[in-house]
Chain A
Amino acid sequence: MANSELYENVILELRRGVIVLAVLSQLDQEQYGYSLLKLLSDQGLAVDQGTLYPLLRRLESQGLLQSNWRLEEARPRRYYVISQEGRQLLPRLKQEWANIVAMMEKVMN
């Protein structure tokens, strides 16, 4: 039981680092919070809502995302899209991710 909890915690820590990259890479096109959640989930990355929504706000405050409220299906939704600054940063983050993967391959083998 303790091992299982430890495993879950380590997995959570590992995933936490990649969520920013995953989110930025999916927001080339506008998405609202729940649709982004589904999009990530459909690709196998389950993100907790309590993590995603505050993260979106933080990325926006850092200038990496832009958002706007839109009235849709009789209710307001907040749409997020990657900003110009985010677009400039994304390729470097992707490159860094590739480096990390290559490095970890080496380390673990």
Chain B
Amino acid sequence: MNLIDIYITEVGKHLPKKTRLDIQEEIRSALQDMLEDRSQQTGRPVDDDLTVEVLKEYGSPEKVAASYLPERYLIGPRLYPAFLKTVQIALPIIGALALIGLGISLGKVNLSAENWFETILQAIAEFFNSAIIVLGNIVLIFAILEFALPNLKEKPKAWDPRSLAKISPPDRVTLAEPIAAIILNFAAIVIFNFYPQVIGASFVAGEGWTFTRLLSQAFFRYVPVLTLLWTLKIVLNFLLLRLGQWQTGTRWFSLGLQGLEVGVAYAMLKGPSLVALTAQEFSAASPIQPEAARILVELMNQAVTWVLIIVIVFGIVEMVKTVIRLLGKKTPAVLVQEK
């Protein structure tokens, strides 16, 4: 195999199958023309030295192959601002959760200096571990969106600025909101279905670390219906991305999901406790005193109750807003969220 064959084979490795042979043949033909012309101009024979000279001039195989390919993106310029915004929201949340976890772990009595150091290191390691997993998932979701939303790659259609007035502010859909919703719902599906063991707390007790699950079996009975809810929310947000605005159909769809969400939250509120951790277990698994453990567990249960109440109240408010918009009445100014 001579140098030109090796070079052309190398270029072909970076080209799509569909056009590879054709482009390779064209490059071969161009190189032969170049060699012949250079040989005639300089009076040198067509040997390896001249071939090397011509190939160097022609460019590296990667560069030549790239010149035949369109620009390709994992996350293109249209989605990049939303990607950046999502990362800017997600990373501080992970950081805040890591700090809360660290604060709880450090707030123990009888924690030695060595354990303090170990706890801080563990928190830093967990932060980086979580950050990498979350970033990886965000990149994956945006890459899927980039691939699945071809209309985002197309040139913008001719538009009239006056057409914007036809979409009232509550009907307008920004790019960031559906994307953030898709990512959060996807993350919830993955975590609660595949990694439920990560929802818990680690404590330094005695010689080593102990891990305690926070959520009870009662909570995990709701996971199938929650997964259905999250999946439908992903579908709704994909539709919003495609349509670019709220329409009657998507409003009804959303109303149904809001109703389901309120219903599930109400069932959780009325059902058995969602917190698995008891004061006894908490105290046994950590250096926390029994009384302090009782208060912390009580606070945890109250926090879950309040979260469910907030979900129900906000859900009902959202349902009322949706019904008002569906009925075509002007939304009370107090309920319209400025965008």
A residues lining the B interface (CB < 8 Å) = 32-35, 38, 49-51, 53-54, 57, 69, 75-78
Contact = CB atoms under 8 A, between A and B. Distances in A.
The 8 closest A-B pairs by CB, nearest first: A34-B33, A50-B67, A54-B67, A54-B68, A33-B30, A77-B29, A78-B26, A50-B59
B58 A75 contact: no
Interface residues of B, number: 16
A51 B30 contact: no
Nearest to B66: A50
B26 A34 contact: no
A22 B26 CA distance: 21
B37 A34 contact: yes
B26 A51 contact: no
A57 B67 CA distance: 11
Interface in B272-329: none
Contacts of A33: 26, 29-30, 33
A57 B68 contact: yes
B69 to A, nearest CB: 9
Contact of B32 (A53, A69, A75): A75
Given A49-B30, A53-B26, A77-B29, 11 more contacts: A32-B29, A33-B26, A35-B33, A38-B37, A49-B34, A50-B64, A50-B67, A51-B67, A54-B68, A76-B25, A77-B33
Contacts of A38: 37
Nearest to A33: B30
Contacts of A49: 30, 34, 58-59
Secondary structure of the B contact surface, majority rule: helix
Nearest to B64: A50
A32 B33 contact: yes
A78 B67 contact: no
A45 B23 CA distance: 24
A49 B63 CA distance: 12
B59 to A, nearest CB: 6
B27 interface: yes
A35 B34 CA distance: 10
Contact of A53 (B27, B37, B63): B27
B219 to A, nearest CB: 57
A33 B68 CA distance: 15
B158 to A, nearest CB: 20
B8 to A, nearest CB: 13
A75 B29 contact: yes
Most chain A beta-carbon neighbours within 10 Å: one of B32, B33, B68 = B33
Interface in B1-50: 23, 25-27, 29-30, 32-34, 37
B58 A78 contact: no
B34 A34 contact: yes
Most chain B beta-carbon neighbours within 10 Å: one of A32, A34, A35 = A34
A56 B67 CA distance: 12
B116 to A, nearest CB: 52
B67 A34 contact: no
Contacts of A51: 67
A75 B30 CA distance: 11
12 contacts: A32-B29, A34-B30, A34-B34, A49-B58, A50-B63, A51-B67, A54-B68, A57-B26, A57-B68, A77-B29, A77-B33, A78-B26
Contacts of A69: 25
A78 B68 contact: no
B106 to A, nearest CB: 52
Contacts of A78: 25-26, 29
B328 to A, nearest CB: 47
